[in-house]
Amino acid sequence: MRLLIFSAQFLAVASITAFLITDEGVRCRSGPTTSHAIQRQFAKGTDVTITCQTEGTNIEGNALWDKTTFGCYVSDY
């Protein structure tokens, strides 16, 4: 059973992905909606690591939001 749990944890870590910010700047919020507080901003050219995705406020036809390793959320549009 321990080997099975270890494998699941390994898979979760392996699925983390980093993305380059290509827009002029991206606001990272405390939750996956535009009404959540802005915790930080990422400048163009910043690498941001995503830990998971969830649904939130629809931005330009896309309701998917990415949770970063900083614990804040950015819209995936």
Position 7 scores a pLDDT of 39
Total tally of structural domains belonging to the chain: 1
CATH number reported for the structural domain that contains residue 54 in this entry: 2.30.30
| Containing structural domain, residue 67 | 18-75
Asked whether residue 10 carries a pLDDT value surpassing 80, the answer given is: no
pTM above 0.75, yes or no: no
pLDDT tens digits for range 12-65? 444 456 666 777 888 999 999 999 999 999 988 888 899 999 999 999 999 999
In a domain, 65, yes or no: yes
DSSP codes, the chain? -HHHHHHHHHHHHHT-EEEE--SSEEEEESSSSTTSPEEEEEETT-EEEEEEEEEEEEETTEEEEEEETTS-EEE--
In a domain, 2, yes or no: no
Position 21 scores a pLDDT of 72
In a domain, 6, yes or no: no
